[in-house]
């Protein structure tokens, strides 16, 4: 009886190679889903920026340019560390796997901390959409821009949180010695996800922060 509480579940795979290929394909298909998930928001952004470019420029002017820029650097560096961790796994270097993953995790957390700081600034400036919104003399569509800003970066931040959880899981797996060059999938697959979240940010950064510049 294949019961989820019994360990280990019977594998549907004939060998490790097939299993590994399936894991990778599964993550790629999931990322295709994710692209369409963000795609709805990007479409909405495109439609409204096309119809009200001035309001979007005004809205963009309210964002902290330096936070967006620093965060881009932070996230790209974090992705670099995940890639280095993947290489370390492939040469069975557990110590460096831990160090690289920890560095990636800390940078991810720094990104979210800066994001939270920026959200708080927006709250204090009455730039959060809702009854207390103050367009600072701009068009009503500035609120639309700010709504999209919060929706897009918020959804991105939720993905970051899942990613940070996944990195913790990898650290735990590595601590228990369950990651090696023969079992490299977990790091590689989480790495794909982390790079994807990074890529989304690479699109968000110019669309949100650089409109007015």
Partner 1 sequence: MSLLVTPPEIETPMPSYLESGHTVRSWLLTLDHKRIGLLYMAAITFFFTIAAIAAALMRIELLTPQGDLVTSDMYNRLFTVHGVLMVWFFLIPSIPSALGNFVIPMMIGARDVAFPRLNLFSWYLFMAGGLLALYSILGGGVDTGWTFYTPYSSTYSNSHVMAMAVGVFIAGFSSIATGLNFIVTIHKLRAPGMTWSRLPLFLWSLYATSLILVLATPVLAITLVLITLERVFGVGIFDPKLGGDPLLFQHLFWFYSHPAVYIMILPGMGVVSETMAVFSRKPVFGYRVVAASSLAIAILGFLVWGHHMFVSGQSVYAGVVFSLLSFLVAVPSAIKVFSWTATLYRGQISFETPLIYSLGFIGLFTIGGLTGLFLAALPVDVHVHDTYFVVAHFHYIMVGGMVLAYMGGVHYWWPKISGRLYHEWTARIAAIITFIGFNLTFFPQFVLGYLGMPRRYHMYPEQFQTLNVLSTAGASILGVGYALPLFYLGWSFFYGRKAGPNPWGATGLEWQTASPAPEHNFETTPVVTTGPYAYPEGNDMP
Binding site for partner 1 (CB under 8 A): 1-5, 9-14, 18, 21-22, 25-26, 29-30, 32-34, 36-41, 43-44, 47-48, 51-52, 55, 129-131, 133, 139-141, 143-144, 147-148, 151, 155
Residue whose CB is less far from partner 1, 29 or 113: 29
Residue whose CB is less far from partner 1, 10 or 177: 10
Residue whose CB is less far from partner 1, 1 or 91: 1
Least gap, CB of 142 to partner 1 (angstroms):
9
| E strand residue ranges, 100-196 | none
Rounded to whole angstroms, the Cα distance separating 65 from 208 reads: 10
Residue whose CB is less far from partner 1, 81 or 201: 201
Least gap, CB of 19 to partner 1 (angstroms):
9
Least gap, CB of 145 to partner 1 (angstroms):
10
Residues 6+ apart with CB under 8 A from 146: 59, 62, 122, 127, 128, 129, 133
Q: Provide the token pair at 11.
A: 């594998």
Q: Is 132 exposed, middle or buried (0-12, 13-18, 19+ CB in 10 A)?
A: exposed
Rounded to whole angstroms, the Cα distance separating 52 from 141 reads: 7
Could you give the 3-state DSSP secondary structure of residue 114?
helix
Least gap, CB of 87 to partner 1 (angstroms):
25
């Amino acid at each position: 009886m294949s019961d989820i509480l019994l360990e280990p579940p019977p594998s549907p795979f004939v060998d490790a190679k097939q299993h590994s290929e399936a894991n990778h394909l599964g993550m790629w298909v999931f990322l295709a889903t994710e692209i369409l998930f963000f795609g709805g928001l990007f479409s909405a952004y495109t439609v409204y920026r096309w119809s009200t470019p001035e309001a979007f420029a005004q809205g963009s002017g309210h964002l902290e340019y330096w936070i967006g820029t620093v965060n881009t650097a932070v996230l790209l560096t974090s992705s670099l560390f995940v890639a280095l961790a993947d290489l370390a796994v492939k040469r069975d270097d557990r110590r460096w796997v831990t160090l690289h993953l920890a560095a990636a995790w800390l940078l991810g957390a720094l990104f979210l901390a800066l994001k939270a700081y920026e959200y708080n600034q927006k709250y204090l400036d009455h730039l959060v959409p809702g009854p207390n919104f103050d367009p600072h003399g701009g068009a009503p569509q500035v609120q639309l821009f700010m709504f999209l800003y919060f929706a897009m970066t918020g959804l991105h931040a939720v993905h970051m949180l899942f990613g940070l959880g996944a990195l913790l899981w990898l650290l735990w797996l590595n601590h228990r010695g369950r990651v090696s060059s023969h079992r490299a999938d977990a790091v590689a697959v989480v790495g794909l996800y982390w790079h994807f979240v990074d890529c989304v940010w690479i699109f968000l950064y110019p669309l949100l922060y650089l409109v007015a510049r």
